[in-house]
Amino acid sequence: MTFDTLTAARELESAKFSREQAEAIAKTVRDGQGELATKADVAALENSTKAGIAALGHSTNANIAALGHSTNANIAALENSMNTSIAALENSMNTSIAALENSTNANTAALEIRLVKWAIGLAFAVAAIVLAGVRLMLDTGA
């Protein structure tokens, strides 16, 4: 778009601006026109921005998908590690429980033997007391 400074200056003069004022205003508008965006410039910028946003969207979706896959892989690895740890803990607990049962059974058996010995000892003691009582009764003639 070109700016006709002569026409603009004449219109400003007809609006009661002095010739110097009209020429200065027309020159300022013409000099500033190089910095103005045209409709084509705005459309190109809009298209470029839309393309950039679309590319960013695709890139973001790809990054989210990759992050999802990575997260799923990390969760699976963690689950496997936890299952292995739990299995090892179960085995350790089962071994400890079995050892405790064996120890308890051995202690119970030893206690049973001691109790049987005590019972036999008490039976002999009672028998000895009864025999002594019988002998005493026989010796005293009762």
Tens-place pLDDT, residues 56-99: 999 999 999 999 999 999 999 999 999 999 999 999 999 999 99
Whats the size of the chain, residue-wise? 142
Q: How many structural domains does the chain have?
A: 2
User: Are residue 44 and residue 1 in the same domain, yes or no?
Assistant: no
pTM to 2 decimal places: 0.48
With bands split at pLDDT 50, 70 and 90, how would you rate the model's confidence at 142?
low
User: Are residue 49 and residue 104 in the same domain, yes or no?
Assistant: yes
d(CA 58, CA 67): 14
User: Are residue 18 and residue 78 in the same domain, yes or no?
Assistant: no
User: Are residue 78 and residue 53 in the same domain, yes or no?
Assistant: yes
- Domain that residue 16 falls in: 1-36
d(CA 64, CA 14): 65
User: Are residue 53 and residue 103 in the same domain, yes or no?
Assistant: yes
User: Are residue 7 and residue 46 in the same domain, yes or no?
Assistant: no
User: Are residue 101 and residue 129 in the same domain, yes or no?
Assistant: yes
